[in-house]
């Protein structure tokens, strides 16, 4: 029996994942509702976390690498005085402290965790250690020693104290940062312990929570059929990449995997701007009538196709 290919839906959905489902379950729910043939996501969210989960449909899955390195913004609550196996509320408590940090201590701590810092990922994470996932090793009772690595914290703000045991923070991070590790390390730096008790992702690159689609996992698919109306264009995640406008003939050449020469007056001016910005030799987005045709590499006044989008724009 031939496998059903699914509907040719191409673009992005800015999903607001609720607490509870995994990112994989969210993908499955979107696939069943939209009927899309291919579905992927950028940036896993733990079941504990809610918020922005960008989901790619169809040919948009080819652009996932261009959003994975985007900055992310989180609002999270730290529960003071307890260390857990997972560095969040879902783990077992393994250490206690009666100490609670004061407001002055919290303010003084912020610069220490801002900028380029070193961070050891949580033992319960998806990082591969000698071919095995770290969380599999931890669940088997043999947690790996997690080596520190550099991460970039662009912004860290203390928002409020909910009560003596809980403080709320907002952080803007670069690639590879773990909020659970940040909560753990902040607690230790303040002479106590800490773990994440609540976590919400407010933004991933161009995707923001205020514009996200809140998916009700208890509703019937027929009740949320309007989800497809929220599909954003493929080029949504490529706003920061230089764009090359094509003619119909040039677009067709790229679709066939052929290079396109950039020798017209318009192209020469565009190339001059690209060189002035130091982007010569890099990846750019090729467009026809404002729609994404391919990702191309510019080399010696030629556009060489790197990733072609196989859909009718």
How far is the C-alpha of 290 from the C-alpha of 234, rounded, in Å?
Answer: 11
How far is the C-alpha of 292 from the C-alpha of 285, rounded, in Å?
Answer: 7
CB 23 within 8 A of CB 44: yes
CB 27 within 8 A of CB 42: no
Q: Which two tokens stand for residue 309?
A: 């989008």
Is 46 noted as a catalytic residue in this protein?
Answer: yes
CB 248 within 8 A of CB 288: yes
Distances (CA, A) of 254 to 66, 258, 267, 301: 20, 5, 16, 15
Residues 6+ apart with CB under 8 A from 202: 51, 52, 73, 74, 75, 170, 208, 209
Beta strands 128-129; 132-133: pairing state: antiparallel
CB 293 within 8 A of CB 286: yes
- DSSP category for residue 43: S
CB 190 within 8 A of CB 109: yes
Q: Which of 46, 87, 88, 185 is catalytic?
A: 46
Catalytic (active-site) positions: 46
């Amino acid at each position: 029996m031939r496998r059903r290919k699914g509907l040719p839906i191409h673009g992005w959905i800015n999903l607001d994942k609720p607490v509870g489902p995994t990112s994989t379950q969210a993908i499955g729910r979107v696939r069943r509702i939209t009927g899309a043939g291919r579905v992927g996501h950028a940036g896993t969210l733990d079941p504990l976390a809610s918020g922005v989960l960008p989901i790619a449909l169809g040919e948009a899955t080819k652009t996932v690498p261009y959003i994975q390195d985007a900055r992310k913004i989180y609002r999270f609550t730290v529960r003071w005085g307890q260390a857990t196996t997972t560095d969040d509320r879902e783990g077992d408590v393994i250490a206690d402290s009666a100490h609670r940090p004061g407001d002055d201590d919290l303010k003084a701590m912020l610069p220490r965790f801002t900028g380029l810092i070193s961070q050891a990922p949580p033992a319960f994470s998806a990082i591969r250690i000698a071919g095995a996932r770290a969380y599999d090793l931890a669940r088997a009772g043999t947690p790996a020693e997690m080596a520190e690595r550099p991460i970039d914290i662009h912004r860290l703000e203390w928002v409020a104290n909910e009560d003596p045991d809980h403080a709320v923070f907002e952080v803007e991070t670069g690639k590879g940062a773990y909020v659970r590790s940040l909560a753990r390390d902040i607690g230790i730096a303040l002479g106590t312990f800490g773990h994440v008790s609540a976590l919400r992702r407010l933004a991933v690159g161009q995707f923001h929570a205020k514009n996200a689609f809140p998916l009700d996992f208890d509703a019937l698919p027929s009740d949320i059929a309007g989800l497809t109306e929220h599909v954003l264009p493929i080029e949504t995640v490529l706003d920061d990449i230089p764009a090359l406008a094509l003619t119909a003939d040039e677009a067709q050449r790229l679709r066939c995997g052929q290079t396109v020469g950039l020798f017209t007056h318009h192209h020469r001016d565009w190339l001059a701007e690209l060189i002035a910005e130091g982007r010569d030799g890099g990846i750019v987005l090729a467009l026809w009538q404002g729609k994404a045709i391919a990702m191309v590499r510019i080399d010696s006044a030629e556009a060489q196709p790197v990733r072609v989008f196989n859909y009718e724009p």
